[in-house]
């Protein structure tokens, strides 16, 4: 078993398309469409979990670590909502793109070119975001173990990923990559998808209690994503560290 989370093929894959992170009609177009629902989901849950009262900056005071932050598509909205955000990513070009875009945004975010096992922060975080990342790592057990080390006791971790079902293969790979061309072919490897039961078991081993799991489904008529009871393709889980 490898003792790290890096998958060199994944690093190379995302290095090649990093220039497109902030292009809403480019290779990350599906993520741009997906972003509003995950921002709302995280914000609404954190307001409730931490009993936050600031309406203008609802996440004011929270320290958030965005693991696998890419070009900063989620880090920047979290910072706009008032959070103190740190983003890490093992793809150097992703971090360069994130830092470049940050200059235009008038926000304060700390970005570092690290995988979780190489990251050595001087504090622990209230919230950790592992969004659309576990399906790209080499070893999910090690990845979750490393990620949990950065989380405060009673802190919240969000994990969004793809279920390992026939439907996810048909929709996320055959449909999204080969038919609709939403994503470059080879973006996902179905063998790396993980079902909620397996993910929950891994998290439990690492002092993370499940607080909720929801499906995220695409509505082609409205052309947007919504929280759903259907977890057969995309799902998002929330855990609390004990």
Q: Domain spans of the chain?
A: 8-241
Q: How far apart are CA 77 and CA 109, in angstroms?
A: 11
pTM: 0.94
Structure tokens at 176: 């999204």
Q: Are 158 and 211 in contact (CB under 8 A)?
A: no
Instruction: Name residues whose C-beta falls within 8 Å of residue 83's C-beta, 6 or more positions apart in sequence.
Output: 59, 60, 61, 62, 63, 64, 127
**Local structure of residue 171 (DSSP, 8 states):** I
3-class SS at 65? strand
Nearest to 110 by CA among 76, 144, 137: 76
CA atoms within 13 A on the CB side of 134: 32
Superfamily of domain 8-241: Vaccinia Virus protein VP39 (3.40.50.150)
**pLDDT given for residue 2 in this prediction:** 52
19, 36, 131, 160, 167 from 157: Cα distances, Å: 28, 19, 10, 10, 26
Q: Which residues contact 97 (CB under 8 A, 6 or more apart)?
A: 18, 19, 21, 22, 71, 72
Alpha helices in the chain (DSSP H): 8-17, 29-49, 75-80, 92-105, 140-148, 166-168, 196-205
Please tell me the predicted confidence (pLDDT) of residue 182: 87
User: What single string gives the DSSP state of each residue in 187-208?
Assistant: S--GGG---HHHHHHHHHHTTE
> Per-block average pLDDT, block size 10, for the chain (242 residues)?
75 93 94 96 98 97 98 98 98 97 96 97 98 96 98 98 97 93 91 98 98 95 95 98 98
């Amino acid at each position: 078993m490898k003792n790290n989370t890096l998958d060199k093929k994944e690093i190379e894959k995302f290095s090649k398309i990093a220039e497109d992170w902030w292009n809403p009609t480019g290779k990350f177009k599906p993520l741009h469409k997906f972003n509003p629902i995950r921002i709302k989901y995280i914000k609404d849950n954190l307001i409730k979990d931490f009993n936050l009262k600031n309406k203008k900056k609802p996440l004011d005071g929270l320290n958030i670590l965005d693991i696998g932050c890419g070009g900063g598509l989620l880090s920047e909205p979290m910072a706009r909502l008032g959070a103190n955000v740190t983003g890490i990513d093992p793809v150097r070009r992703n971090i360069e793109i994130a830092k470049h875009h940050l200059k235009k945004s008038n926000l304060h975010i700390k970005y570092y070119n690290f995988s979780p096992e190489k990251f050595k922060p001087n504090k622990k975080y209230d919230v950790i975001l592992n969004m659309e990342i576990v399906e790209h790592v080499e070893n999910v057990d090690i990845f979750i173990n490393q990620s949990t080390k950065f989380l405060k006791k009673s802190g919240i971790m969000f994990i969004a990923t793809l279920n390992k079902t026939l439907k996810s293969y048909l929709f996320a790979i055959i449909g999204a990559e080969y038919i609709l061309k939403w994503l470059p072919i080879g973006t996902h490897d179905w063998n790396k998808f993980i079902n909620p039961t397996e993910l929950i078991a891994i998290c439990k081993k690492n002092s993370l209690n499940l607080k909720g799991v929801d499906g995220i489904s695409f509505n082609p008529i409205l052309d947007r994503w919504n929280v759903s009871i259907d977890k057969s393709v995309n799902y998002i889980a929330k855990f609390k560290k004990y």
